[in-house]
A and B are shown apart, each in its own frame.
Chain A
Amino acid sequence: MSDRRTVLLTVNGSRVEREVPVRLTLADLLRDSLGLTGTHLGCEQGVCGACTVMLDGEAVRSCLLLAVQAHDKDVTTVEGLSWGGVLTPLQEAFHLHHALQCGFCTPGILVSATAFLRETPDPDEAAVRDALGGNLCRCTGYSGIVRAILDAAQRMNGSTSRSSADA
């Protein structure tokens, strides 16, 4: 019941051990202690979605989780989505469809959409828009983001024609 605790967790495939204040959020552990600043903090009240990470494969708000609650868990941040500098189909589609402008919301959207597409491999546009409800973007207006996610779904389902997705 002390005010500090040691947490052991897996972050993007690596085992991590840190002693943390119990009130530290997972978002602050990732950013300040592990240097994974791709996880962005916007509202710190679960609304904006910029801090979304995967906890044991489920998209969650890292600003609403204590670091101590991630003990023994597996965390994936935006940095852990791709390996060896090769973009995932979703990241590639974001690039292609100009699905970002300032980029602040992008990490949360990439993580959320990655989780969404795992569960919903062949979504229609309405489902994509509904899934994006939990991520605020204040510059692009979502059109490019929706197109990118739909295109990514197609690519991941084996239909990789860029021209048809662009049409």
Chain B
Amino acid sequence: MKPPLFSYADPESLQETLELLAVRGDTAKVLAGGQSLMPLLNFRLARPEMIVDINRVQELHTLAFSDSAGIRVGATVRQRELERSSALCTANPLLAEALPLIGHFQIRNRGTVCGSLAHADPASELPAVALAVDAEMTVVSRGGRRIVPADDFFVSYLTTSLAADELLADVSFPPWKTQDGWAIEELARRAGDFALAGIVVRLSAERGTCAAARIVAFGLGGRPQRMTATEQAMLGSTAGEAIAEIEQAVRSEVESEGDIHASAEYRSEVAGALAGRAVTRAWERAIATGANA
């Protein structure tokens, strides 16, 4: 189908953008890459009165890598732009592994990092990675600016803690800890499809045992979920050898929901298997850093 009728504004400044959002509230919708919003418009699932296209706002097109502050990605930075950055592999190898899993290259050429986070599709990779690395969202409005940790940002299906007059101006991924091992695993019927289940792992090892672990499941319920009980159980263990226990722990901890694509039981079962694979790979990488030699 075709998009419904709307009025269109493409402000050049952030101030003008925030002014529009303040006045228009939830009758306006922000357009960045359009890879989620445009399908919603074409399906008439979204009928905003106004589209606020932020692509001309230069202040939002910032991409900065620094040793002390990590990676800061502005609202209009395309996923492909970050994916192609030569600094990414060392600055955040987990992001580097996750980005190519998003849709297809034609989608990533247009889709933005912040747009994916603000859209908050539970099957998307970036919210799960954001949660796994403790990313922070810079949320701005006419009234000011607040920093929102990833865990407080994602609420439920396509729902974040962004208010109607707020804009996700940038996301900040903290500096990568070089001793960390990482992996992302997902199951989709075809490459590029929405994941039926996925797992992101970040962990470190000391003297052969697990010193820190972060496991995030996605694609299962309304938002990415931290497997805190499994993480706790892994501490001090030789995580690389306790794979069967980890798989089981994730299956009992995860909260899955069923739909026409997969049942809740199937999703939980798959999440366990993916957790096993992801922990195995992350463990090998953590051991390979030599921090535990």
The interface of chain A, by Cβ under 8 A from chain B, is: 1-3, 5, 22-23, 25, 28, 44-46, 49, 52, 55, 58-61, 63-66, 68-69, 112, 116, 130-131, 133-134
Q: Is B104 part of the contact surface with A, judged by Cβ < 8 Å?
A: yes
Which residue on B lies nearest to A57, using beta carbons?
A: B109
Write out, one digit per residue, whether chain B residues 1-34 have a CB within 8 A of any chain A CB (1) or not (0): 1111111111000000000000000000001001
Interface of B is mostly: loop
For B80, give the chain A residue with the smallest CB separation. A58
The reply on B148 being an interface residue by CB < 8 A is no
Note all chain A residues with C-beta closer than 8 A to B10: 68
B35, B80, B104 interface centre (most CB from chain A within 10 Å): B104
Cβ B105 vs Cβ A1 within 8 A: no
Given contacts A46-B107, A52-B106, contact A28 B39 (CB under 8 A): no
Specify the chain B residue showing the minimal Cβ separation from A65.
Answer: B34
Which listed residue (B5, B35, B109, B110) contacts A23, Cβ 8 A? Answer: B5
Interface string of B107-136 (1 = CB under 8 A from A): 101100000000000000000000000000
Which residues of A sit under 8 angstroms from B261, Cβ to Cβ? none
Is there contact, CB below 8 Å, between B8 and A66? yes
Q: Does B266 contact A (CB under 8 A)?
A: no
Contact flag A59-B109 (CB < 8 Å), given A133-B104, A133-B192, A134-B103 = yes
Distance of A145 from chain B, by nearest CB (Å)? 15
Name the B residues within 8 Å of A45 (CB-CB). Answer: 39, 42-43
> In the bound complex, what is the Cα–Cα distance between A106 and B114 (angstroms)?
32
In chain B, positions 139-156 with a C-beta closer than 8 Å to chain A are none
B9-A134 in contact (CB<8A)? no
In the assembled complex, the Cα of A5 lies from the Cα of B7 at a distance in Å of: 11
Q: Does B38 contact A (CB under 8 A)?
A: yes
Which B residues are CB-close (under 8 A) to A25? 2-3, 38, 42
Answer whether A133 and B190 are a contact pair too, CB < 8 Å, given A58-B109, A60-B110, A65-B34. Answer: yes
Contact: B1 with A44, CB < 8 Å? yes
Cα–Cα distance between A154 and B42 once the two chains are bound (Å)? 40
What residue in chain B is nearest A58 (Cβ atoms)?
A: B109
Q: Chain A residues with Cβ under 8 A from B42's Cβ?
A: 25, 44-45, 63-64
B55 within 8 A of A: yes
Chain A residues positioned under 8 Å from B39 (CB to CB): 44-46, 64
The residues of A that contact B106 with a CB separation of less than 8 Å are 49, 52, 59-61, 112, 134
